Amino acid sequence: MNAHSATLRSKEEIMEKLMKPEVITGSEMLLRSLVLEGAECVFGYPGGAVLFIYDAMHGFSDFNHLLTRHEQGAIHAADGYARASGKVGVCIATSGPGATNLVTGIATAYMDSVPLVVITGNVATSFIGTDAFQEADITGITMPITKHSYLVRKVEDLPRIIHEAFHIANTGRKGPVLVDIPKDVSAQTALFQPVKEVNIRGYNPTVHPNKLQVEKMLKAITEAERPVILAGGGVVYSGGHEELLEFVTKSDIPITTTLLGLGAYPSGNELWMGMPGMHGTYTANTAIQSADLLINIGARFDDRVTMKLQGFAPKAKIVHIDIDPAEIGKNVPTDIPIVGDIKTVLQLANKDVKRADHADAWRKQVQAWKQEQPLRYVDSNEELKPQWVIEMIHEATKGEAIVTTDVGQHQMWAAQYYKFNQPRSWITSGGLGTMGFGFPSAIGAQMACPDRVVVSINGDGGMQMCAQELAICAINNIPVKVAIINNQVLGMVRQWQEIIYDNRYSHIDLAGSPDFVKLAEAYGVKGFRATNKEEANAAWEEALKHPGPAVVEFVVRKGENVYPMVTQGNTIDSMILGDAE
């Protein structure tokens, strides 16, 4: 028997053992159910209301738990795990402050349609509603930011609830599901019977599209002279990237990908125009404004993409493909709505899609815009430019790393200058814009993909929000490579105050930040600093060679701005092109 078959047999034996019906506690039911659902790593932080659950982990060798240093670190790590793997991320926290510390992470996942199962403890059922110690109505608090939630009242219901939670989180429009378990329920015993089937009344997401609507889209393509495809995160979440590549190849239509859609289509392809919107490329924004057909595939017409709605894609017939019917027509009036799973819709469309024959002049125009107005910046040999740092990281990793970011200028520079050619390689907080997300999400991504290089690009502000998670990288030798773009300021806020608020700078100075090299070393992590190109190349090379986690602080120019930029209240063709204009 070879090692692979032995491993498979071992997994089968574990599953068979865990599925055995027997009388056990609710806590044991929970752990068994999570393993049976395929949870490879659970991120969490214990407390009084979940002590029975943590007691059940003692000696449970088949259950893998990673102790973070803050509940927010736990849920961002679970989020990064889910985005990198395509599986459901799982985290656990206690009641009261433990649960409320998860709220920002739940909202982050909800806005970006990330599948999570969030498990919280609660006070015993007899104390619910009495303002007991560490009691918080977490199901009520999170109702607007969860796809569904459960308050478990009976221990017998736990196996069904966990099975349903995973199903709801990872089907339809994906999202976080909260399971709140009172302390007495976790301690009670009952017969454990694994649940295999799912039957949830009223929950039946539309997967297969209306064929007539797909035919209308295909007819519109043959008639269009200036078609554009706008692809979003839905393509990545559905696993439809190969179908999208085929669709674009067959139709020969220029494509732009949103912030969350980066990697859904190879950036090296000549039909790719870059990212649209507030910090989108000149080509993508100009093409959308000139298009006579705009095909939205799995994007939600976010305001950072559309900017001023009155005047967005003013000449275009709008096709919108989305699994969530509530998104269609919500922001932009839609001419051809198509509800269904992106992968399934594109598989159907690819059977009959034809090249947009009338669009030769259009494709030449798009290529001309790309040549005339590429992304560019004024480089320097005296000081580090952040754009150059991103390009250097891209070149050193050959564009094959999983890149996570925090939120701000560095996030936009990474989106612009790191080129992604495969899905699930780009992990960022898009909808909520959560500072503190970047580093712990990289830990989750590394746990999901241990054989990939994972790079966490952060600002000096966001890095300080979850820097304590350096401890678990050191203790568990999680080899995340952290790049801190240190401009000693809240960069994006400073940029807005410069451009929109007439240089009235207010409370943006981060000059009192720690020495990040010493901070890393205090946690037992290798630390480097670079202030020029030579140091940057050398430090990053050393970080990549180092077998464990490493932090590299890049000290960059303080006053650098992200361009292009569209200010609020303007249409996306009203771009400030910046210093290199």
pLDDT in the model for residue 580: 54
DSSP string over 512-546: T---HHHHHHHTT-EEEEESSHHHHHHHHHHHHHS
Does residue 182 carry a pLDDT above 50? yes
Decide: 154 and 181 in contact? Cβ < 8 Å.
Answer: no
Does residue 554 carry a pLDDT above 50? yes
- The four Cα atoms 269, 275, 281, 284 give a dihedral, to 10 degrees, of 70
Read off the pLDDT of each residue in 306-327 and give the average, rounded to a whole number. 97
Does residue 476 carry a pLDDT above 50? yes
Does residue 196 carry a pLDDT above 90? no
Would you state the structure tokens that stand for residue 569, as one six-digit string? 């209240």
Question: Residue 7 — very low, low, confident or very high, per pLDDT cuts 50/70/90?
Answer: low
Each residue's pLDDT tens digit, 319-363: 999 999 999 999 999 999 999 999 999 999 999 999 987 778 999
Q: What percent of the chain has pLDDT over 90?
A: 93
Pairing of strands 481-486, 89-93: unpaired
pLDDT in the model for residue 1: 42
Helix, strand, or coil (residue 223) = helix
Torsions phi, psi for 119 (to 5 deg): -105, 125
pLDDT in the model for residue 11: 77
Classify residue 370 as exposed, middle or buried by CB count within 10 Å of its CB (0-12, 13-18, 19+). Answer: buried
**Angle (CA) 508 511 517, round 5°:** 130
Alpha-carbon distance of 340 to 205, in angstroms, equals: 8
Each residue's pLDDT tens digit, 432-457: 999 999 999 999 999 999 999 999 99
Question: Residue 380 — very low, low, confident or very high, per pLDDT cuts 50/70/90?
Answer: very high
Does residue 581 carry a pLDDT above 50? no
pLDDT in the model for residue 518: 98
Would you state the structure tokens that stand for residue 309, as one six-digit string? 């709605």
Does residue 6 carry a pLDDT above 90? no
Q: What is the pTM of this model?
A: 0.96
552 bridge partner residues: 483, 528
Helix, strand, or coil (residue 119) = strand
Nearest to 447 by CA among 462, 469, 420: 469
Each residue's pLDDT tens digit, 492-543: 999 999 999 999 999 999 988 999 999 999 999 999 999 999 999 999 999 9
Question: Residue 207 — very low, low, confident or very high, per pLDDT cuts 50/70/90?
Answer: very high
pLDDT in the model for residue 578: 84
C-alpha distances in Å from residue 210, one per residue of 168, 207, 223, 329, 348: 23, 10, 21, 17, 10
Nearest to 253 by CA among 357, 371, 350: 357
Read off the pLDDT of each residue in 27-53 and give the average, rounded to a whole number. 97
Does residue 2 carry a pLDDT above 70? no
pLDDT in the model for residue 9: 53
DSSP string over 51-72: HHHHHHHTT-TT--EEE-SSHH
Instruction: Give the N- to C-terminal CA distance of the chain in Å, as an integer.
Output: 65
Read off the pLDDT of each residue in 208-237 and give the average, rounded to a whole number. 97
Look up tokens 């000096």; give the residue.
Answer: 460
Read off the pLDDT of each residue in 260-284 and give the average, rounded to a whole number. 97
* Strands (E) located in 205-341: 227-231, 255-257, 293-297, 317-322, 336-339
* Strands (E) located in 173-226: 176-182, 189-192
Read off the pLDDT of each residue in 182-210 and give the average, rounded to a whole number. 94
Does residue 13 carry a pLDDT above 90? no
Nearest to 155 by CA among 55, 20, 53, 18: 53
Read off the pLDDT of each residue in 417-431 and give the average, rounded to a whole number. 97
**Average of per-residue pLDDT values in the chain:** 95
Alpha-carbon distance of 105 to 78, in angstroms, equals: 9
C-alpha distances in Å from residue 187, one per residue of 4, 184, 313: 38, 5, 58
pLDDT in the model for residue 19: 86
Read off the pLDDT of each residue in 22-29 and give the average, rounded to a whole number. 96
Sequence-ordered list of residues with C-beta below 8 angstroms from that of 426, at least 6 positions apart, any chain: 260, 262, 263, 402, 403, 415, 418, 420
Give the active site residues: 71, 133-134, 183, 492
Does residue 4 carry a pLDDT above 90? no
Positive or negative CA dihedral for 70, 75, 77, 78?
positive
Alpha-carbon distance of 81 to 75, in angstroms, equals: 10
